[in-house]
Chain A
Amino acid sequence: MIVADRKPLEEILDSIKDYKKIMLMGCGGCVTICFSGGVKAVELLASQIKIARKKQGKPIEIIECTPERQCEFEFIDAFKKDLESAEAVLSIACGVGVQTMSERHEDTITIPGQNTKFMGYPVEHALWEERCAGCGNCVLEWTGGICPIARCAKKLLNGPCGGSSNGVCEVDKDTDCVWQLIYDRLKKLNKLENLMVVRQPKDWRTSTDAGQRRVKFEEAML
């Protein structure tokens, strides 16, 4: 899932300071699961904004809504009518949701209320960790299902570097050295020979280095 983290209230307030009526749009997808952008997050943020603006003597009107997914036209179109009276949209979906709204409503500005972080999963209740960098050329087959692109600070394909100590990454004491994890897992699977192959430089074109990427599913094309 995509994990996002709400921007600080002060930053949000500053970004909507010129408006008297906005639409606050959440998303029923990933950000609902990570607590930062679902129905409840919309309610909470709307109250916080209203209280802050009232204190400033500049009350604001907020239309609250949470489509099933903000990243598809068919779901956001259901709120087209409500949008007509709003001066701007404050979106607390991920960056994809913000851009779906921007593309669909060219004359209305959509302001991000979240910092979109990464693709990952909750390793424990209310704690998410990054697991996939979307590099477009998966290496998990030979790494024991553990990703060095998403989890190594140097994105090494022939790790670990000399900074791996007691299973911890030199960059952050709270982060496991992913190459220690890969080593341990391959050892368990009796596949340490995977680490003896000198892995060739990666083709980064499938990642973000060749511009915007596109996926076409031929069979489903109309």
Chain B
Amino acid sequence: MKSAGRLEKVLTAGQFAVTAELGPPQNANPEAIKKKSQHCLGNVDGANITDNQTAIVRMSSIAAGAIALSCGVEPIIQMVCRDRNRLAMQSDILGAAALGIQNLLCLSGDHQTFGNHPDAKNVYDVDSMQLIAMVKKMRDDKQFLCGDEIKEHEPKLFIGAVANPFADPFEFRVMRLAKKINAGADFIQTQCIFDMKKFAEWMKMVVAEGLHKKVYILAGLTPVRSHKALKYMKNNVAGMSIPDELIARMESAEDPKEEGVKICVEMIEQIKGMEGVSGIHLMPIGWESITPVILERAGLLPRPKV
């Protein structure tokens, strides 16, 4: 075992894993995390705590993760390369591990021009690939990036990375996944999938390369409440593929919320049958309360004992 966490145990036991996103608040109120944790408690194997998502200032992901942990939810701390240099990152990795955090997801991070401090200086001292390798070096080689030894208590973290099968160049996306595995990723969470056909095509390439045997892939899903949300993402978020049929289906639905849940459950069914996929990652943006409902209807509850 690389960590002592539940997520790693579920995945190594060959169980279909479930993770969900938990966004920290734009204030210092711990109750917001405690409340959202209740939607995750017992329902997921890990909760992603986002790190200044969309470049908007929020409570620190490590602090929010520690609160989630105190509520009995296993956090997956997200760490972006936008806001910290290699010193601050390594220091926060030690701090996260000391607080009992066992999973770390490495990302580049949304560019600051999308957020609420577009005039900020970004960092990108290391990129997401280098961050993955840095965490692995700290864990497996017991060394800091500079080569100095970590004499004891190295951070035992299960290392996550992201993959976007819908960004360009499409044919490089599988190569990039292979590169992340080589760098040290233990598990992968994908960008949210709306275009199941394209995802299946990508997974076929992943399986053909045998990459699914080297890393656990969790398929990202976002339940939506209205066709407007889909249209917004289609027009405003780069690297998203949203089929028009899906927008039309949501638009013509009598009860769009119910339709959104139905679509998500259908997608989970398709993903369960797909070779090489080890689980799902739910990202119900601003709709965390729907997590247990979807999981129940998809037959993913109760979670297995490990």
Contacts and interface: CB of A to CB of B under 8 A. Distances in A.
B169 A198 contact: no
Interface string A156-172: 11111111111110110
Given A153-B111, A154-B108, A201-B145, A165 B167 contact: yes
Interface size class of A (residues with CB under 8 A): 20 to 34
Given A163-B111, A163-B239, A198-B179, A177 B168 contact: yes
Q: Is the interface of B mostly helix, strand, loop or mixed?
A: loop
B125 A196 contact: no
19 contacts: A154-B127, A155-B127, A156-B124, A158-B179, A159-B127, A160-B168, A161-B128, A162-B239, A163-B238, A164-B167, A165-B238, A166-B168, A170-B111, A180-B168, A180-B169, A198-B179, A198-B182, A199-B129, A200-B130
B167 A162 contact: yes
Interface in B154-182: 162, 164, 167-169, 172, 175-176, 178-179, 182
Interface of B: 81-82, 86, 108, 110-111, 113, 122, 124-130, 133-134, 145, 162, 164, 167-169, 172, 175-176, 178-179, 182-183, 191, 238-239
A154 B172 contact: no
B238 A164 contact: yes
Interface in A178-197: 180, 183-184, 192, 195-196
A210 B172 CA distance: 35
Most buried by A among B81, B82, B108: B108
B127 A195 contact: no
A149 B129 CA distance: 16
Contacts of B86: 201
A200 B178 CA distance: 16
Contacts of A162: 108, 162, 164, 167, 191, 238-239
Contacts of B125: 201, 204
Contacts of B111: 153-154, 163, 170-171
A158 B130 contact: yes
Contacts of B167: 160-165
A158 B175 contact: no
A164 B191 CA distance: 13
